[in-house]
């Protein structure tokens, strides 16, 4: 069974969201989803690069009320 973990990094700038996400995925298993809530406008691009670098799957980003909801699948 896969889990979805929500990581709230609103108000934090780079590199803190990436560092916290990296720590979170180390505690997860393949197939789990990580949903990141961020307000940093660079976060969507930063997490695309993070996924390319680490091999996790970038599942997309939506922006609602100034908050980016970024989803990735742990590989």
- Split into its structural domains, the chain has a count of 1
14 flagged as catalytic:
yes
pTM: 0.94
Name the residue range of residue 42's domain: 4-73
* 31 within 8 A of 2, measured Cβ to Cβ: yes
pLDDT at 5 exceeding the cut of 80: yes
**Cβ proximity of 24 and 7 under 8 Å:** yes
DSSP 28: S
pLDDT per residue as tens digits for the range 21-63 = 999 999 999 999 999 999 999 999 999 999 999 999 999 999 9
Q: Write the CATH number for 62.
A: 3.30.110.40
1 pLDDT higher than 90:
no
Residue 35: strand, helix, or coil: strand
Any alpha helices (H) in 1-75, and if so which ranges? 16-26, 43-54
Do 1 and 33 meet the contact criterion of CB atoms below 8 Å apart?
no
Catalytic residue selected from 5, 7, 12, 14: 14
- Residue 68 parent element (H or E): strand 67-73
């Amino acid at each position: 069974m896969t889990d979805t973990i929500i990581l709230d990094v609103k108000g934090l700038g780079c590199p803190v969201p990436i560092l916290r996400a990296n720590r979170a995925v180390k505690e997860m298993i393949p197939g789990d989803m990580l949903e990141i809530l961020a307000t940093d406008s660079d976060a969507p691009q930063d997490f695309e690069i993070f996924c390319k670098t680490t091999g996790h799957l970038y599942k997309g980003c939506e922006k609602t009320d100034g908050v980016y909801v970024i989803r990735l699948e742990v590989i």
